[in-house]
Amino acid sequence: MSEPEIPKDEHPFWFREPRTAKGCTLELKATRIVHSARSEYQAIVIFDTEDHGRVFTLDGLVMTTEADEYMYHEMLVHVPMFAHAAPRRVLVIGGGDGGSIREVLRHPGVEEAVIVEIDEMVIDAARRFMPYTASGFDDPRVRIVVGEGHAHIKEHADSYDIVIIDSTDPTYGAGGLLFTTQFYEDCRRALREGGLLSAETENPFYDPGWVQMAWRRLRRAFDDVRLYLGYVPVYPGALWTYTVASIGPDPQGDFRAADASKISRALRYYNPDVHAGAFALPNFIKRVLAEAGD
Amino acid sequence: MSEPEIPKDEHPFWFREPRTAKGCTLELKATRIVHSARSEYQAIVIFDTEDHGRVFTLDGLVMTTEADEYMYHEMLVHVPMFAHAAPRRVLVIGGGDGGSIREVLRHPGVEEAVIVEIDEMVIDAARRFMPYTASGFDDPRVRIVVGEGHAHIKEHADSYDIVIIDSTDPTYGAGGLLFTTQFYEDCRRALREGGLLSAETENPFYDPGWVQMAWRRLRRAFDDVRLYLGYVPVYPGALWTYTVASIGPDPQGDFRAADASKISRALRYYNPDVHAGAFALPNFIKRVLAEAGD
């Protein structure tokens, strides 16, 4: 059911998202409400804007926008993928908009890319209303599993070269289960030899506690854990942390730079210099990690 | 004249700053209005927040906040300073809050640090209400000139090792004069042998036109011009570009990393890895520069 177009510059609808509990709010002016639905899990609302293109929200929080989704998905995916010698089987947990799967499929060696998303209506909405983001779903290498990520991973020991955790924030719905020590240990067991995991781990300025929680718990499950940085303008704080955990390769110093250079010609954010530079952490972020505890 | 404290969580006052012309707005909740004055040039309003500490605004635009000013000032100052072999005479244009001068003074070799700020009331307000940011003003090495940056630089050929352009955005008041080709040429003439200039050059996602304008015009005046990146959460878009222009050293590959490492122990953002990594540009920013024209 489509909804009526909002007359431009006449009755603007403002989407308001509190960025912190203490008084920092982002407002985006919507030019058109594209889709509005309620699934078993959440309210899905999609609207158009002039600055950010089409915006995809769940329960009033921006999940992705047409204008900057590539920044997030390229950094979440290509850093672990190019750190692996030859990734063939890849798992994406969450990421129902499809952006991570689309980036995984750019790697010609990938034989199977599995996505486990809890909410089928998110996938359907992305297919209909964010076709570029969702463009990987019809690739024959993709298998879509509608279900819980933490259950799937438990049943797939020694199965994947790369696990990508494309979750919502830890306090949001089922997303919290994807930030537990148990889940990370199951992820480690799901990795094949030489495997890596990457996870989105939130903003270090406004939400240092979330960065620390993921850091602390991932380090309980993995020996080699590193934080790296990217930029996603519409996310709270815009500077985004990702955490990569490895049971083999050194994701910072030893990635496939020549392959990365070739594929990055088709990309809009990631390139080999960005890969190397993303691990350079400002002092305040080093301090956040140092204070994360064990 | 101090103003009454706003009762917390009762009658919050929301500061609203449009981040783009097309519908992206930031709101900050003020817990107390600290200072409100009108100078010959602009309205100066200072207020307290829970998330960003004390916030300094000019004509309704955030200039600096207690919580993140160090990120901006450290990156604007230390990149050119550590790229120079031995900076002794340094000029800051604008920067009336004092943050850039404070960072300049961390370098023990500095003999004179001149600041040219057009609005004396900005300096006075910073001294009174942002004492940490303004803490360098009373250093005996500092000379404060109240006047126009573009006029000062014209009269000081061959005078400075480092010129730091700590301006407002190009459309704001006198700030526009600090983004002209003529001004950049005068800056080049003001540099002594082996000198460098750095300038704040805005956000590449929301305001690529400003990044391009500075890039195009600086390249008319200098042979070696490079863009580097930092993070300032409260600025529009949060990813901040700085441009460094050199008449001698290579600011990216050949900075004093050992000295930087020593001084960065007292810093909260800058360190040698961040210096090197800041020059790694995502593809979309490379494209912004490639399309800047001559």
Q: For position A237, which CATH number holds?
A: 3.40.50.150
Residue B3 lies in a domain: no
Instruction: Flag whether pLDDT at A4 surpasses 80.
Output: no
User: Over the stretch A53-89, which tens digit does the pLDDT of each residue have?
Assistant: 999 999 999 999 999 999 999 999 999 999 999 999 9
> Domains in chain B: how many in total?
2
Are A218 and A259 members of one domain? yes
Chain A neighbors of B278, CB-CB under 8 A = 277, 280
Are B164 and B192 members of one domain? yes
Chain A neighbors of B282, CB-CB under 8 A = 71, 231, 268-271, 274
Q: Say if B71 is an interface residue toward chain A (CB within 8 Å).
A: yes
Chain A neighbors of B231, CB-CB under 8 A = 205, 238-239, 282
Residue A6 lies in a domain: no
Are B118 and B52 members of one domain? no
Residue ranges with strand state E in chain A = 13-20, 24-38, 43-49, 54-58, 61-65, 89-94, 112-117, 142-146, 160-166, 191-200, 224-231, 239-246
Instruction: Flag whether pLDDT at B289 surpasses 70.
Output: yes
Measure Cα distances from B72 to B230, B238, B270 in Å.
Answer: 7, 10, 10
Q: Which of A48, A97, A119, A166 is catalytic?
A: A166
Percent of chain B's residues with pLDDT above 90: 85
Q: Say if B68 is an interface residue toward chain A (CB within 8 Å).
A: yes
Residue A2 lies in a domain: no
pLDDT number for residue B173: 64
- Point out the residue among B205, B267, B280 whose CB comes nearest to the CB of A233: B205
Instruction: Flag whether pLDDT at A176 surpasses 80.
Output: no
pLDDT number for residue B113: 98
**C-alpha of B241 from chain center:** 10
Residue B111, C-beta contacts closer than 8 angstroms, at least 6 positions apart? B88, B89, B141
Q: Say if A6 is an interface residue toward chain B (CB within 8 Å).
A: no
What six digits make up the tokens of A22?
């203490």
User: Over the stretch B43-67, which tens digit does the pLDDT of each residue have?
Assistant: 999 999 999 999 999 999 999 999 9
Instruction: Flag whether pLDDT at B9 surpasses 50.
Output: no
* A-to-B residue pairs, Cβ atoms closer than 8 angstroms: 142
B179 pLDDT band, cuts 50/70/90, is confident
Phi first, then psi: what are they for A285, rounded to 5°? -80, -40
Between residues B14 and A122, the one the model is more confident about:
A122
pLDDT number for residue B11: 52
**Which whole number is the average pLDDT over A80-108?**
98
Q: Say if A238 is an interface residue toward chain B (CB within 8 Å).
A: yes
Question: What's the alpha-carbon Rg for chain B, to the nearest Å?
Answer: 18
ipTM greater than cut 0.90: yes
- Distance of alpha carbon B238 from alpha carbon B26, whole angstroms: 12
- Point out the residue among A27, A49, A284 whose CB comes nearest to the CB of B269: A284
Nearest chain B Cα distance for residue A9, angstroms: 10
- Residues of A (154-213) whose Cβ lies below 8 Å from B: 205-206
pLDDT number for residue B174: 61
> Cβ contact (<8 Å) for B283 and A264?
yes
- Distance of alpha carbon B106 from alpha carbon A289, whole angstroms: 26
Residue A1 lies in a domain: no
Which of A65, A90, A105 is at the close of a domain? A65
User: Over the stretch A179-225, which tens digit does the pLDDT of each residue have?
Assistant: 899 999 999 999 999 999 999 999 999 999 999 999 999 999 999 99
- Point out the residue among B25, B50, B277 whose CB comes nearest to the CB of A23: B50
Question: What's the alpha-carbon Rg for chain A, to the nearest Å?
Answer: 18
Q: Report the SS3 class of residue A150.
A: helix
Which of B24, B39, B65 is at the close of a domain? B65
- Residues of B (35-64) whose Cβ lies below 8 Å from A: 49-52
Are A152 and A189 members of one domain? yes
Are B121 and B240 members of one domain? yes
Kindly report the number of other CB atoms within 10 A of residue A50's CB atom.
16
Residue A137 lies in a domain: yes
Please give the helix or strand (H or E) that residue B16 lies within, else none.
strand B13-20
Contact B37, B125 (CB under 8 A): yes
**Which whole number is the average pLDDT over A157-168?**
96
Residue B169 lies in a domain: yes
Phi first, then psi: what are they for A189, rounded to 5°? -65, -25
Residue B103 lies in a domain: yes
Q: Say if B23 is an interface residue toward chain A (CB within 8 Å).
A: yes
User: Over the stretch A43-56, which tens digit does the pLDDT of each residue have?
Assistant: 999 999 999 999 99
Q: Say if A26 is an interface residue toward chain B (CB within 8 Å).
A: yes
Are B110 and B164 members of one domain? yes
Nearest chain B Cα distance for residue A213, angstroms: 21
Q: Report the SS3 class of residue A189.
A: helix
> Cβ contact (<8 Å) for A282 and B264?
no
pLDDT number for residue B172: 64
A178 pLDDT band, cuts 50/70/90, is confident
Chain A neighbors of B50, CB-CB under 8 A = 22-23
Domain housing B164: 69-290
Q: Say if A139 is an interface residue toward chain B (CB within 8 Å).
A: no
> Cβ contact (<8 Å) for B50 and A12?
no
Q: Which residue has the tokens 């600086």?
A: B218
Which of B40, B65, B90 is at the close of a domain? B65
Q: What are the b/e assignments for A76-98, b being 16+ CB within 10 Å?
A: bbbbbbbbbeebebbbbbbbbbb
* Nearest alpha carbon to residue A235 among A205, A275, A274, A212: A205
User: Over the stretch B203-223, which tens digit does the pLDDT of each residue have?
Assistant: 999 999 999 999 999 999 999
Between residues B291 and A10, the one the model is more confident about:
B291
Q: What are the b/e assignments for B115-136, b being 16+ CB within 10 Å?
A: bbbbbebbbebbbebbeebbbb
A172 pLDDT band, cuts 50/70/90, is low
Active site residues per annotation of B = 166
**Which whole number is the average pLDDT over B126-134?**
97
Between residues B32 and A176, the one the model is more confident about:
B32
Enter the DSSP assignment of B47: E
pLDDT number for residue B1: 44
| Average pLDDT across chain B, whole number | 93
Q: Say if B282 is an interface residue toward chain A (CB within 8 Å).
A: yes
- Distance of alpha carbon A243 from alpha carbon B26, whole angstroms: 28
pLDDT number for residue A173: 63
pLDDT number for residue A1: 44
pLDDT number for residue A7: 47
Are A171 and A60 members of one domain? no
Residue A253 lies in a domain: yes
| Average pLDDT across chain A, whole number | 93
pLDDT number for residue B5: 55
Are B132 and B55 members of one domain? no
Percent of chain A's residues with pLDDT above 90: 85
Are A42 and A83 members of one domain? no
pLDDT number for residue B177: 78
- Distance of alpha carbon B122 from alpha carbon B135, whole angstroms: 14
A9 pLDDT band, cuts 50/70/90, is very low
Q: Report the SS3 class of residue B69.
A: helix
pLDDT number for residue B13: 83
Chain B neighbors of A23, CB-CB under 8 A = 12, 14, 27-31, 49-51
pLDDT number for residue B7: 46
Contact A255, A84 (CB under 8 A): no
> Cβ contact (<8 Å) for A50 and B25?
no
CATH of the domain at B43: 2.30.140.10
What six digits make up the tokens of A122?
């998110």
Instruction: Flag whether pLDDT at A108 surpasses 60.
Output: yes
Measure Cα distances from A173 to A119, A237, B212 in Å.
Answer: 11, 21, 42
Q: Say if B26 is an interface residue toward chain A (CB within 8 Å).
A: yes
Chain B neighbors of A52, CB-CB under 8 A = 24
Are A172 and A35 members of one domain? no
Nearest residue on chain A to B13, judged by CA atoms?
A23
Are A79 and A61 members of one domain? no
Nearest chain A Cα distance for residue B25, angstroms: 5
- Distance of alpha carbon B239 from alpha carbon B72, whole angstroms: 10
Are B122 and B39 members of one domain? no
What six digits make up the tokens of A106?
């750019």
Residue B13, C-beta contacts closer than 8 angstroms, at least 6 positions apart? B6, B29, B30, B33, B47
Q: Say if A109 is an interface residue toward chain B (CB within 8 Å).
A: no
Q: Say if A276 is an interface residue toward chain B (CB within 8 Å).
A: yes
- Distance of alpha carbon A260 from alpha carbon A280, whole angstroms: 19
Percent of chain A's residues with pLDDT above 70: 95
